[in-house]
Each structure stands twice: as C-alpha cells, then as structure tokens.
A and B are shown apart, each in its own frame.
Chain A
Amino acid sequence: MKIGVLSLQGDFEAHTRVLARLDMPYCEIRHPEQLRDTDGLILPGGESTTMVKFIQAAGFEPALKAYAKARRPIFGTCAGAILLAAEVIDRPQFSLGLIDLVVRRNAYGRQVDSFIEVGPCAGFNEPLEMVFIRAPIIESVGPSVSVLARAQNRPVLVRSGNILVSTFHPELTVDNRVHAYFLAMAH
C-alpha cells in the first residue's frame, strides 16, 4: 500500500512526516499520472488559490475526479478541504465538488486569529488537539456527510464515503490518530 501526497504547494512535507511515523510508504504527487500507483491521496494545507492554478492547468481535475469515483480515499486538510468542497464562498473559487460541503475561506479571520483547540472526536477515546491556521469554516454539510468532530460548534472533521476532510491540521501535531483513521479507510 502507498499513499500519495499532493505536493504542488503547502505543508505536504508535514503529512509525509506523519506517514513515516506510521510506517506507511508515500510518494509526492506533482503530476496526475503519478496518482496511478497510490491507494489513497492527501491534499495538504497551503494556499488553495495557488493549488487551484495547478489543478486547473495540468489535467489534475479529471484525474482527481476519476480517483474519487474509483472509490479511492482522499483526505483534505484546510486548503485540501476547500479543494474538495462542493461550494466555496466568500471569494467563490473553483473546487472539485467531491464532498457535499459549503466552505467559507479564512472565515475565522487573519493569522492573528489562528488558534489551537482540544476537543472530542467520534471514535477516539482521548480528546484531539486541533490546530487552525487561517482556517476555513464548514458552513453546511449535505445529508451524505457525517460529522466526526466539532470546534466552536462547527463541523471541523467530516467524512462522506471515501472522502475525509478536516479544516484543522492534524499533520502539525504529534498525534497520528486522524491519519491512522484515514489509512484504515484506504485498507
């Protein structure tokens, strides 16, 4: 088994560090054809506007849609969540529409409003530390989406079928559980 990490821009290296801690083979993805040998894909945090330029220009859009359609799992964190959403508001922008969410970008404010919160998460015995950096807010979820964790009364970790989304950054903590959950989806 091998996990791809979209490495067009952002904190892809932080994700690879977690995968290494979990002894999971991984590869960096910069071209659509590199998706072929992977069993799951992580869309990292970063600047979604930058990633969109690459996704629209380099043939990633059809490749990612086919990937999801083939029921291969995708995990998006922060910018990755924005890319996967059905709709992006407050500066509407392109998204892949692979999970039934409406997200609002930079919704907590600017960097001075970034924060860390500890809270419960469905299926985990111990609370989860959640790092929010210029994070988006999930404004609404469709009926197919289950909410696994909330912060400040809003969904922050959600799943629909083979798509997992967090608006926070589990890759910036020493806790491997969210990634381990994703790997279980990929098995």
Chain B
Amino acid sequence: MSEQNLLRLKIGLAEMLKGGAIMDVTNADQAKIAEDAGAVAVMALERVPADIRAQGGIARMASPKRIREIMAVVSIPVMAKVRIGHFVEAQILEALAVDYIDESEVLTPADEEHHIDKHAFKVPFVCGARDLGEALRRVAEGAALIRTKGEAGSGNIVEAVRHLRKIQKEIKTLTVLPEEELMAEAKRLGSPFELVRMVAKNGRLPVPNFAAGGIATPADAALAMQLGAESVFVGSGIFKSEDPARRAQAIVQAVTHFREANILLQVSEDLAEPMKGIDIAKLDEKDKLQTRGW
C-alpha cells in the first residue's frame, strides 16, 4: 500500500471516532463499563494519570497481557499508550494489533529529544500538543490524530482550554497571512513549511483534533467540543469518580449534544462526586506532564 493510502486509513479511523468519548481503562472490567456506557474507544494503560501522579515511579506501556484481556472483552477500538520516543513499546503494541497508539506525555519519556517515527508503523498514532507548532511537528512525524495535552490526571480543564484556544487561534492567524509571510511563520512555529501552508489554505489541521487532559464532568466535555475539539479523551475523570458508569454515560451524552444546554443540565444532575482535582497554579513545574515532549 502507498504511504498516502496508509495515512488515509489511519486518519479514517480517527474520523470514525469523532463526536465520541475515548475512555482510559486499566482492566477488562473497566473497559466493559466504558463500552456499555457508549465509549467509542478505550485507552489501555497501567494506571490512570491521577494515580501515576500520586504514586510516582516510572510509568510504562501497560502489560500486553492486560491489553489483550481488554481487547478480548470489547468490540470497540482499543488504544494503548507508549512512552515518548519508545519505538520498541510501539513495535510490541503493533504486534499485538491495538487499533491506535498514543505516544503520551502521561508516561515517563524514553527519549528527551526524539519522538517516534510514526510513518514506520501500520498502526495509527495519536499525539498530544499544546500549540500548532507542536501539533504539526507530530503530524510531520506521522501522527494521524492530535489531541491537546491539557494537564492529565489533574481533573482541571484549564490547560486543555488553553491548548485548544491556542491551536485554534494560531490556525486562524495562518488563514489571514499573505503567502510571503508563511515561511517566517513556519520558522516561528517550528513546523514544516508545507504543513503550515496546508493549514493556511484549509483553515484546519490536516488530521482530526481531539481534546484531552483534565476533563472530569459532562460540562468539561461539552466545553472542549464548543471550543472546537472533535472528540474527547477522558482519563482519570471517569474511574476516579464515585459512580464511573453514570459519569461515563453522562459524558457520552454531553459530547453528542454539546450545544444543547437543556440536555447538559439533565445529564449533569444527580451525578455522584467527580474526581477531586488539582489547582494547576499550585503544581510544581517539574510535576507538570504537559512539558514532556516538544
């Protein structure tokens, strides 16, 4: 298959996941709860970000056995995380035939300079970004889907909002720049010129753009959607809350009906306690996950 067609298939699966919620799960039971609630995909990982944050230590790819158990119980796509730059973890996940690989800042980076060459894989990749430059660098490396980094495991939407707005604003700026200014803008963004030009022309990323990091409530999910995200990843927000199944269902409803306040009200009522959450301003710079990768 041509590289172009392979990329179309990778982006194609991301298209299928639009208007949905992708939920972090650590075992088969949680995966089943997520699927039954209407998740469009699950993300397999060893510990949810809130626990990684609390427990510390090196966070790695989930055990293949655990991922296999999750793949066996659900029929929706199964994604799994690898450490930034850890292409062997990715090779293992490809051999396992997961449906999407998240090269994620939530895990401890394996390479502080280089991300994975994602063109080399048949499995599509999703990567996090805080701004347009970072998003386009990941796309240039072969990512078929971009998500905001937000601040994973914080239960605080503020960073995802910042990243969504920043990316949208930088895209809008490109669309009004004259052709001769695009090269300087590509230099400023640190992104390949051809991709910058493509974004300037189309007014959108060349791949779908989802939100992640800190989504804890149906309102958070709908906020991300109204700010232009095309789907949401929910990490700790579900299984660190009091009634995961109901919260998961409520978030699924909120993503589909993200502009309808009466439905958002209805699904937000009578929900048990959300995850507790962290004030980002009180978080040490070294404890931020979003600064991993570049």
A residues near B (Cβ < 8 Å) are 7-14, 30, 45-47, 49-50, 53-54, 78-79, 91, 105-106, 109-112, 114-116, 131, 133-134, 169, 172
Q: Give the CA-CA distance A2 to B9 in the complex, in Å.
A: 30
B13–chain A nearest beta-carbon distance, Å: 5
Q: Are B75 and A91 closer than 8 Å at their CB atoms?
A: yes
| Residue positions of B touching A, CB distance < 8 A | 1, 5, 8-9, 12-13, 15-20, 35, 37-41, 75-77, 94, 97-100, 122-124, 249, 252, 255-257, 260
The dominant DSSP class at the A interface is loop
Kindly state the separation between the CA atoms of A112 and B123 in the bound complex, as whole angstroms: 6
Cβ 8 A contact of A115, one of B9, B13, B37, B41: B9
Q: How far is the CB of B291 from chain A (nearest CB, A)?
A: 30
- Our count of residue pairs bridging A and B at CB distance below 8 angstroms stands at 104
CB pair A46 B123 closer than 8 Å: no
Question: In the complex, what's the smallest C-beta–C-beta distance from A174 to chain B, in angstroms?
Answer: 11
Report A-chain residues with C-beta under 8 Å of the C-beta of B249.
Answer: 53
Instruction: Give every chain A residue within 8 A of B12 (Cβ-Cβ).
Output: 11, 114, 131, 133, 169, 172
CA separation between A169 and B40, bound complex, in Å? 18
Task: Decide: B75 and A133 in contact? CB cutoff 8 A.
Answer: no
Whether B20 pairs with A9 at a CB distance below 8 angstroms is yes
23 A–B pairs (Cβ distance < 8 Å), ordered by A: A7-B19, A7-B256, A9-B255, A9-B256, A10-B18, A13-B15, A45-B15, A46-B17, A47-B20, A50-B252, A53-B38, A54-B256, A105-B75, A110-B97, A111-B97, A112-B97, A112-B122, A114-B13, A115-B1, A116-B9, A131-B12, A133-B12, A134-B16
In the bound assembly, the distance between CA atoms of A7 and B75 in angstroms comes to 21
CB-contact partner of A11 in B15, B37, B39, under 8 A: B15
